[in-house]
Structure 1
């Protein structure tokens, strides 16, 4: 049994993962913001699920955008064996149409938010010289498309930060890995934040056309029973990574539709490892088992 803390449990991967790991006998801390407000129904659903099944699942208020909220949340939990940094959201539209504050908001949510939570759990992980941090990135963290530039910036940044964390924490017994989902049947598009300056956005009709076509294509795949868009695929990858011995977990795992980016990961992985060897830190690529 492990103590698993998951952010962003009001929907999508987080909601499903909280239920799955509770059913498997783990102590789950399902965190989300606005537990008593806009997410009250989701919080109640998880609490009722736990009560009816006799599962060890606790819903905790946590807003990854707030240092104080994160601090208060972590004070309510026991030692965290596994942190799944899942909370996030996408911003869509031409880059010129975003205000600088919107861009900062996207980076704060998808990069700084994960750092806030990681920083809060790391002291106890370091003390016991073990732990696993799963960073939920995206295939959008490996390549770029028009209309997703601000979102790409956040996920590319998360990729770089997480890779550095992996090397910094491995000698301390802590593992950091990235999971890179493609499109899944969640509410990603429905929850997307649009660029604020729609007058500027109208000058990018070609981007809007691409974006709309891409969204329609992806949503069409959600109706295809043979397409790998079931969110459980991602939850199963979380579980596989948790069960792997320390030192054997891959740096990156793509989930679902990869748009060919698995080939990109396969091609760059030997280069990444060679770079570590060249710097004399190849032993820092994950904890030594």
Structure 2
């Protein structure tokens, strides 16, 4: 049994993973914002499910954009074997139409938020000399598309900082891996944040046409393609948790890959070769 902390459990991957991993016998700390407000219904649903099926699920209130919220919640959790940094949101629209504050908010949520939570649990992991951090990135962390530049920037940044953490934490017995989902039938598209400047936004009709077409295509896939079932991501989390330390891949794509699996396949030997050229090949994940 592992003690697993998951952020962003009010919906999507987090909600499903909390139930699925608890069903596998793990002790799950399911976290979300506004447990006593907006997300009270979802929190109660998870607790009721745990009670009905005799599972170990605790619900904690964590706003990953708040240092105080993160540290307050983590102080109540004695042991964390696995952290799944899942909380996040997407911003959609032409880059020029976003304010600098919106860009900072996107980066704060999708990059800095993961570091807040990781930094809060790492003292526990360093003390036990073991642990696994699963960073939920995206295929948008491996490429960029019109209308999603702000979101892609956050995921590209998450990829970079996570890869560095993998090398830094390996000698301490802690593993860091990236999960890169494609489009899944979650609330992601419905919760996209749009630019604040409608005048500039209106001048980018070609971007709007791409976004609308892409969303229509993806929603059609939800109805006709089993590869968009979010349970796939929860099962990938389970696979990574069950894989021995030192054997886990840095990057794992889940679902529709839009060709980016080929990119990962090409880049991986180059990445490993570059580590060897710098004499740090032994930092690519903890040793058994």
**DSSP-derived class of the 2:133 partner:** strand
Write the distance in 2 (CA, Å) between the matches of 1:198 and 1:153: 21
Write the distance in 2 (CA, Å) between the matches of 1:209 and 1:193: 17
- Residue by residue over 1:81-119, the C-alpha shift from the partner in whole angstroms, topping out at 9 and shown as x without a partner, is 000000000000000000000000000000000000000
TM superposition score normalised by structure 2: 0.99
In structure 1, the partner of 2:61 is 61
In structure 2, the partner of 1:27 is 27
In structure 1, the partner of 2:243 is 244
Q: Answer yes or no: is 1:76 the counterpart of 2:76.
A: yes
In structure 2, the partner of 1:158 is 158
TM superposition score normalised by structure 1: 0.99
What is the aligned-residue RMSD (CA, Å)?
A: 0.6
Write the distance in 2 (CA, Å) between the matches of 1:227 and 1:209: 26
**DSSP-derived class of the 2:210 partner:** helix
In structure 2, the partner of 1:273 is 272
Write the distance in 1 (CA, Å) between the matches of 2:209 and 2:145: 13
**DSSP-derived class of the 1:178 partner:** strand
Report deviation, 1:49. Answer: 0.7
**DSSP-derived class of the 1:132 partner:** strand
The 8 Å contact of residues 3 and 78 in structure 1, kept in 2 or not, is answered as no
Write the distance in 2 (CA, Å) between the matches of 1:12 and 1:140: 17
Q: Answer yes or no: is 1:288 the counterpart of 2:287.
A: yes
Q: Which moved more, 1:154-163 or 1:192-201?
A: 192-201
- Residue by residue over 1:37-76, the C-alpha shift from the partner in whole angstroms, topping out at 9 and shown as x without a partner, is 1001000100111111121110000000000000011011
- Residue by residue over 1:106-150, the C-alpha shift from the partner in whole angstroms, topping out at 9 and shown as x without a partner, is 000000000000000001101111000000000000000000000
Unaligned 5+ residue runs, structure 1? Answer: none
Write the distance in 2 (CA, Å) between the matches of 1:236 and 1:28: 15
Unaligned 5+ residue runs, structure 2? Answer: none
Report deviation, 1:80. Answer: 0.2
In structure 1, the partner of 2:174 is 174
Q: Answer yes or no: is 1:211 the counterpart of 2:201.
A: no
Aligned residues between the structures: 288
Write the distance in 2 (CA, Å) between the matches of 1:78 and 1:216: 45
Give 4+ residue runs of structure 1 displaced > 4 Å after superposition.
none
Write the distance in 2 (CA, Å) between the matches of 1:145 and 1:52: 43
In structure 2, the partner of 1:39 is 39
The 8 Å contact of residues 2 and 82 in structure 1, kept in 2 or not, is answered as yes
